[in-house]
Amino acid sequence: MKDIPIVDKIPELEIAIKAVEMAGKAILEIYQGDFESFAKSDDSPITEADIKSNDIIKEILSQTDHPILSEEDKDDLSRLSEDTIWIVDPLDGTSDFIDKTGEFTIMIGLIKNKKPILGVIGWPTEKTLFVAQKGSGAFRYSDNEWKRISVTKVSDLSKCRTVGSRHHLSDKEKSFIKKLGIEDFTSIGSSLKVGKISSGEAEAYITTTNKMKEWDSAASYCIILEAGGKMTDMLGNDITYNNREVHHQNGILVTNGLIHDKIIEEFKKLE
């Protein structure tokens, strides 16, 4: 793979890219064979791919001294005293992995003083990466080359292409999207929703669920911001990371930035 065209790379950037690549290869091997899925204590699905990916990522990220908060490990709260931590979702979109849609990702974010400064998302089935480092822009790697990516300039809500969850779209979300006058809606798995907005292929992702956790958005946060977009909760509050409570209580709104306040304004009318 060619080097990402970022001049002042922090050392963690190459380490995170390597971790996502190696985990992606292992996930694809399992994906192409027979595998079993199990239910975790919260009824969410898990497969051997989640566990294998987690092991590979932890081994590679342990070259650094930063603690790791991962979906697949018990939370070690000693991380709260650290300025810098990794936040990892070893397989985002496990349901899509099980259903063989191809729309699953690997997510690694690096957090410093509660803010993401690095985001790497891998899309194994398409050999694609979305990568951003704070202050250096956002990039997409596909077809063996890196390209800088950015959000669109669409500011008319009715012309917005909106993406949402295939497995978790609620009736509340459906009716709210309709109320906004948005007609172009596509269901997509995993963090690819944010990848699409960052690449200028959609304008908004709306979710009102309180089930999102820090690892569901840490990598995406850096990528969407560096692509010129915006991510807040549905009430417009900024999102911070490395908190004791890792739930995002008020859902997530990701946009190209230009339609962000309009959507929040309309949402607050419902509350």
- The token pair at 225 is 């911001």
pLDDT of 119-173, one tens digit each? 999 999 999 999 999 999 999 999 999 999 999 999 999 999 999 988 788 999 9
What integer pLDDT is reported at residue 35 of this predicted model?
Answer: 94
21 is an annotated ligand-binding site residue: no
Query: Would you give the DSSP letter of residue 80?
Result: G
Q: Is residue 218 pLDDT above 90, yes or no?
A: yes
What residue ranges define each of the domains in the chain, with the CATH number in brackets? 11-148 (3.30.540.10), 157-269 (3.40.190.80)
pLDDT of 186-204, one tens digit each? 999 999 999 999 999 999 9
Give the separation between CA 4 and CA 109, rounded to whole angstroms: 17
48 is an annotated ligand-binding site residue: no
Residue 141: burial class (beta carbons within 10 Å; 0-12, 13-18, 19+): buried
91 is an annotated ligand-binding site residue: yes
% of the chain residues with pLDDT over 90: 95
Nearest to 217 by CA among 140, 115, 129, 113: 115
Q: How confident is the model at residue 271 (pLDDT cuts 50, 70, 90)?
A: confident
Secondary structure class of 92 (helix, strand, coil): strand
Q: What mean pLDDT comes out for the span 26-38?
A: 95
Nearest to 125 by CA among 237, 25, 271, 19: 25
pLDDT of 53-90, one tens digit each? 999 999 999 999 999 999 999 999 999 999 999 999 99
What integer pLDDT is reported at residue 168 of this predicted model?
Answer: 81
Sign of CA dihedral 148, 151, 154, 158: positive
pTM of the complete model: 0.97
What integer pLDDT is reported at residue 120 of this predicted model?
Answer: 98
225 is an annotated ligand-binding site residue: no
92 is an annotated ligand-binding site residue: yes
Q: How confident is the model at residue 261 (pLDDT cuts 50, 70, 90)?
A: very high
- H or E stretch at 148: strand 145-149
Q: How confident is the model at residue 1 (pLDDT cuts 50, 70, 90)?
A: confident
Nearest to 113 by CA among 177, 66, 53, 170: 66
Give the separation between CA 16 and CA 129, rounded to whole angstroms: 11
Secondary structure class of 118 (helix, strand, coil): strand
Q: Is residue 102 pLDDT above 90, yes or no?
A: yes
Q: What mean pLDDT comes out for the span 42-61?
A: 96
